[in-house]
Amino acid sequence: MDEPKTVEAEDFKATCLEMLDQLIDRKLSSITITKHGRAIAKLVPVEVQKVPSLFGAMKGTVPGVDLTEPIDVEWEAMKD
């Protein structure tokens, strides 16, 4: 990852899409936006989190029913 970048608001406005692409590609670690030499905002890339699997999330919530099994197996057992 590259060094952080500091840019005036006026310059950021003109090149914001290009700089955002650099953040996405991890070419910049952050962008500090200044106005009249004073920092007003800092942009950093979002950390991507792995979404946990929903398969089996309900296991054990319904007594006597295994929600990880195909429904037709449970349905056949209930008909008898």
pLDDT averages per 10-residue partition of the chain, 80 residues: 86 94 90 95 86 75 71 62
Q: For residue 57, what pLDDT is reported?
A: 74
Q: What is the dihedral of CA 53, 54, 59, 65, to 10 degrees?
A: -130
Q: For residue 78, what pLDDT is reported?
A: 67
Amino acid at 59: K
DSSP 8-state assignment for residue 73: H
Q: For residue 80, what pLDDT is reported?
A: 59
Q: Where are the domains of the chain?
A: 5-43
Q: Are 56 and 68 in contact (CB under 8 A)?
A: yes
Return the beta strands (E) in the chain as ranges: 5-8, 31-35, 38-43
CA-to-CA distance for 65 and 23, rounded, in angstroms?
Answer: 48
